[in-house]
């Protein structure tokens, strides 16, 4: 896909999403980002998009509410004049022991990581058909991509991410005839949580064959590679520094 002049929507435009947005803007893409509460961060990302010479748009949306998924897509398409790319990054990542899980704990990642990805894709597909094709990039997780859980306390998250990979494959088949390619990225140790201690940081580095955290730019590179390709669909690419090999 020639990215120049295209328009993208990124759900969950914080931290890594903001870096992806700026990378897209530098390739000539207008970018809308959704945010739930972090308006200041979203506005800062929009400013960086503008500094790269493209239009940026911040869309407030609680994607756990089904109706907001479609309306966020519509707002992005209206604000940017078209929609060619959807990047489903919004996620709920919470550790909780199995014995303490509530129905709400189960529902949170299912509604945001999985259902919102489906609903946003369903709303975005007509805009992409109108443009003659498009790209959808979902987000899984390196653990789910590896096909077995490794860490206790993440049952809903793991199941939702495994399902997001299945959704990617199913959508790729459904939308191929429309020229809409659907792939997923399964990040590994990219950006450490702010509350991670030095010992935990070093443990992750030691368990990763490349010996370090990847950094947000590695996800942006992977997103761009999938957007550039005209013949990859239904694939989930791990970006984990070889962590799945250890």
Q: What is the CA radius of gyration of the chain?
A: 17
Cα 220 to Cα 20: distance, rounded to the nearest angstrom: 5
93, 151, 154, 157: which one is catalytic? Answer: 157
**106 and 156 Cβ atoms separated by less than 8 Å:** yes
Q: Is 157 a catalytic residue?
A: yes
Element (H, E) at 209: none
Distance of CA 243 to the CA centre of its chain: 20
Element (H, E) at 157: helix 155-175
Cα 133 to Cα 241: distance, rounded to the nearest angstrom: 32
Cα 81 to Cα 52: distance, rounded to the nearest angstrom: 19
Active site residues: 157
């Amino acid at each position: 896909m020639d990215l120049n002049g295209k328009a993208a929507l990124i759900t969950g435009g914080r931290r890594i999403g903001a870096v992806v947005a700026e990378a897209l803007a530098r390739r000539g893409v207008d970018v809308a980002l959704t945010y739930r509460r972090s308006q200041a961060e979203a506005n800062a990302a929009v400013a960086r998009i503008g500094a790269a010479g493209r239009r940026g748009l911040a869309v407030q949306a609680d994607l756990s509410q089904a109706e907001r998924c479609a309306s966020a897509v519509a707002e992005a398409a209206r604000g940017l004049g078209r929609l060619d790319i959807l990047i489903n990054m919004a996620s709920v990542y919470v550790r909780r022991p199995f014995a303490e899980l509530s129905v709400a704990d189960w529902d949170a990642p299912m509604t945001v990581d999985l259902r919102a990805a489906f609903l946003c894709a369903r709303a975005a597909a007509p805009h992409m058909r109108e443009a003659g094709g498009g790209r959808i990039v979902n987000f899984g997780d390196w653990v789910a991509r590896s096909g077995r859980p490794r860490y206790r306390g993440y049952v809903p998250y793991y199941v939702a991410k495994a399902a997001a990979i299945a959704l990617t494959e199913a959508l790729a088949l459904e939308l191929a005839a429309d020229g809409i390619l659907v792939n997923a990225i399964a990040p590994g140790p990219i950006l450490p949580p702010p509350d991670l201690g030095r010992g935990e940081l070093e443990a992750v580095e030691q368990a990763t064959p490349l010996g370090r955290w990847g950094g947000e730019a590695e996800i942006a590179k992977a997103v761009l590679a999938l957007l550039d390709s005209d013949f990859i669909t239904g694939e989930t690419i791990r970006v984990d520094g070889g962590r799945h090999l250890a």
